[in-house]
Amino acid sequence: SGHWTEAACIVSQFEQHIRAIAGLPLGAPDRHSDCVMENLIGDDVLRVPELLAEPDLMLHLYGKAEARPSRKMGHFTRISRRAS
């Protein structure tokens, strides 16, 4: 998955897709940060309060009402700025 591009790139994979479909110029795909993405599967979603306390973390919840084993409930990305 390229979900990490939302947090760590100038233009995300999702914006690039829309630009391509709309016939617009593609943006710079350059990465500005290092990052690690992790899925929240099933009861991992119970970690949300703990995750929200982290300052360099982007959290994405998918709005699913019920956590079940092996069900993807969301993901988070931890970012760290790259040295210049």
Is the predicted pLDDT of residue 1 greater than 70, yes or no? no
What counts of helices (H) and strands (E) characterise the chain?
3, 3
In sequence order, which ranges of the chain are alpha helices (DSSP H)?
A: 5-8, 13-21, 48-52
Q: State how far Cα 49 lies from the chain centre.
A: 17
pLDDT at 81: 72
61-75 per-position pLDDT tens digit:
999 999 999 999 999
Domains annotated on the chain, with CATH: 5-81 (3.30.470.20)
